[in-house]
Amino acid sequence: MPTPLVVSDVAKSFTMHLRDGIKLPVVAGVSFSIKAGECTVLGGPSGAGKSSILKMLYGNYAVDEGQIIVTHEDGLIDLAHASPRTVLAVRRQTIGYVSQFLRTVPRVSALDVVAEPLVERGEEREAARVRARSLLAQLNLPEKLWMLPPATFSGGEQQRVNIARGFITEHPILLLDEPTASLDATNRDVVIELIAAKKAAGVALLGIFHDHEVREAVADRVIDVTAFAPGKLAA
């Protein structure tokens, strides 16, 4: 199986300049890789740095040390040192991301929020909307909501919009930050099916799932993030 993403010796800390410059180490010595067709799960308690790792992989957080090598358009790119333009190209073509919370844009309908990543990849708007409709239907979002901006939706409804948006494209790598946190059992099962379909299609998934049942159902491998606690590095 190909290995589209390799993380080696990554470290991250926050320097709080407004708090007399105290330094908060988050993770150190992060090294792992993910495989195509597998779902790798980041495990460990809250605060262990799971989300921070995902955010570094997506370029939301800067990386202090180490390398994040991703296979992008037949080449290798080190995301830890890539230019903003390269990171944007990687996001468009290679790495998808389902964040924990949906960031809504005023006046844009749920349907278009979901269709947008496909349009950005050059798909016709109408074709993208057709695909968006089928995903929203699969996730049981009531049809009367599709044309409304998601800002006023419930947490579970927003999350389903967010999931549909993340799953609509065929990115070879997909990052999932607690995609099932506010879903009921029926929709949790839909997400499990969607993940299985991505695996079958050869996508490499990396996720955080606090829900034990979901994790059991999707995980091929669990990486214990506490092994990357900053204090452990010296040992």
- Positions that interact with another protein (CB under 8 A): 14-18, 55, 59-62, 84-85, 87-88, 105-108
Closer residue to another protein (CB): 120 or 211: 120
**Shortest spacing between CB 6 and another protein, in angstroms:** 21
Closer residue to another protein (CB): 80 or 135: 80
**Shortest spacing between CB 25 and another protein, in angstroms:** 14
**Shortest spacing between CB 45 and another protein, in angstroms:** 22
**Shortest spacing between CB 214 and another protein, in angstroms:** 26
Nearest alpha-carbon partner for 225 in 29, 49, 34: 49
Closer residue to another protein (CB): 60 or 134: 60
Determine the length of the chain. 235
**Shortest spacing between CB 32 and another protein, in angstroms:** 21
Q: At how many degrees (to 10) do helices 110-120 and 125-138 cross?
A: 130
**Shortest spacing between CB 85 and another protein, in angstroms:** 6
